[in-house]
Copies of this chain bind each other. A is one copy, B any other.
Amino acid sequence: MREEKFVVIGAVAAGMSAASRFRRNKPGAEIWVVQKGEHVSYGSCGLPYFVSGLVKDIRGLVVYDATFFKQKRNINILTCHEAIQIDREAKVILARNLKHNNKVKLGYDKLAICTGAFPFKPELPGVELKNIFVIRTAEDGVVVRNFIDKEAPKAVAIIGAGPIGLEMAEAFAVRGLKVTVIKRPGSILQMFDEDMAGMVEEELKAKGVNLVKNAIIQGFDGDREGKVKAVVLADRRYEVDFVLLATGSKPDSRLAREAGLVVKANGVIAVDERMQTSNPDIYAAGDCVGQKHLVTGKDVYTPRGTTANKQGRIAGDNASGGEDVFEGIVGTLVSKIFDLTVARTGLSSNQAAAEGYNFVTSIIAHPDHSFTYPNPEPENITTKLIMDKKTGKLLGAQMIGKHKEMGVAKRIDIFATALQNRMTVDEINRLDLSYSPPYSPFYDNILIAAEVGLKKLRD
């Protein structure tokens, strides 16, 4: 009897999770993964730390390499192979070997599409000039770092002010570059409330980053060699040696669409809770699909590596005969931006308003641990809650504190856990949280935020 054949397109978070879970369930299966780039199973969230030089080698971002997967899990990975077609009738995928330019065919019994997302490039004059970079894949990171290492640029403009743009601002500042962040109209860090984002603006200023808000970019100017030399706004221009586009990402669903699979209006591949596409033999997971938001119950597109890992695992499980479902997300995020840790979960005020909630917010600043352990001295964490006025349930939380420990990142996870359990603010206020002076104030920030939130709910 022929062993079952599982093919995966994409070898980063979702893809390798799918392949690994399939292997665990079916020890005898034949598993192939095709990957456009050279590197597999890497942590792209570490790219800012590779560009800054903290991580010396790009292999320092790789969790497991192709040799590991072959030797330990008997998973075959074809790197530098781009999947170019899915023939769902013949159950074959076609891939192009990007090094030798030949084509290979891989038959499958079950297929998982984990093509991820691609960086969104605004349609602006000059956007195709040289030295306008994006940062998404390991290969992108190598390009940017090599450019800095070899060309010794002095000034960079980052287009966009989301977490990736601002983490890269820090990386470039570490490299000694003059950094200009150019943001179209609207708040920076849009998934945060404006008052919280304002704290990050202060930090950027304090660290010498030139933040240009409300910018309407006309385009990019190049020199005779076709290299970008300026970002052009309506009323001024910024001379730069290179540009980083950090303007978001779009799900890479082209292959799926061309294969006739159902793709949603926002570009994500349609999947059910089991990560199954409209074709029962084809699964999809990661940044090319959407998620259900557990607070609103609605579909969203919130690409995250953690979600990709979980979805990939579930796709691999179901493809190999399992019965598992991906229930959804609450939109948790943490980012180190210079000396701040910024974190959020659930709905922001804008999101809550857009969803029609009758909500109230509360905000507190409170020390991260007790003054009875002054080593180091406590520093304030600002905590904002968004709460449903009718039910008293938490809708979302945001925290900003000094980057020095995990007090912000792990506390936001407590709120994320609360959201996932649909807790009311009153219930959060009753949590039996740990206390010892080095780790918490007498009443933890979580509990004080809930207490103050309760007062707001009662007002």
Q: Which residues of A come within 8 Å of B, CB atoms?
A: 13, 43, 45-46, 49-50, 54-55, 60-61, 63, 294, 304-307, 309-310, 326-336, 341, 343, 345, 368-375, 403-407, 409-414, 416-418, 420-421, 423, 427, 430-440, 442-444, 446
Contact = CB atoms under 8 A, between A and B. Distances in A.
Contact of A333 (B326, B329, B333, B434): B434
Which 10 pairs from chain A and chain B are nearest by CB? A46-B372, A410-B410, A405-B405, A409-B439, A334-B434, A421-B421, A406-B407, A417-B417, A329-B432, A413-B433
A13 B413 CA distance: 28
A372 B439 contact: no
A413 B447 CA distance: 12
From A343, A371, A431, A433, residue with most partner B Cβ within 10 Å:
A433
Contact of A46 (B370, B414, B434): B370
A374 B61 CA distance: 11
A339 to B, nearest CB: 12
Contact of A410 (B43, B46, B407, B432): B407
B439 A406 contact: yes
A370 B413 contact: no
A309 B444 CA distance: 12
Contact of A372 (B61, B294, B334, B412): B61
A372 B443 CA distance: 34
A405 B408 CA distance: 11
Given A43-B437, A55-B372, A431 B416 contact: yes
12 contacts: A43-B372, A46-B370, A49-B372, A49-B373, A60-B371, A61-B372, A334-B435, A334-B436, A336-B438, A407-B410, A417-B417, A417-B418
Contacts of A309: 442-443
A333 to B, nearest CB: 6
Given A410-B406, A414-B414, A430 B310 contact: yes
A437 B171 CA distance: 14
B442 A416 contact: no
A435 B331 contact: no
Contact of A435 (B45, B442, B444): B45
From A54, A305, A431, residue with most partner B Cβ within 10 Å:
A431
A114 B439 CA distance: 26
A343 B435 CA distance: 10
Nearest to A451: B313
A431 B417 contact: yes
A400 to B, nearest CB: 13
From A310, A368, A412, A442, residue with most partner B Cβ within 10 Å:
A442
A436 B335 contact: yes
Nearest to A346: B432
B439 A341 contact: yes
A434 B412 contact: yes
Contacts of A343: 434
A295 B253 CA distance: 46
A151 to B, nearest CB: 25
A52 to B, nearest CB: 10
A431 B323 CA distance: 18
Contacts of A328: 432
Contacts of A410: 406-407, 409-411, 413-414, 439
Contact of A45 (B305, B331, B372, B417): B372
B438 A403 contact: yes
A315 to B, nearest CB: 15
From A50, A341, A409, residue with most partner B Cβ within 10 Å:
A409
Given A43-B370, A46-B437, A372-B43, A420 B405 contact: no
From A54, A343, A413, A437, residue with most partner B Cβ within 10 Å:
A413
Nearest to A375: B54
Contacts of A434: 332-334, 343, 345, 409, 412-413, 416
B341 A306 contact: no
A436 B372 contact: no
B433 A306 contact: yes
Nearest to A373: B49
A430 to B, nearest CB: 6
Nearest to A455: B24
A446 B409 CA distance: 13
Contacts of A304: 435
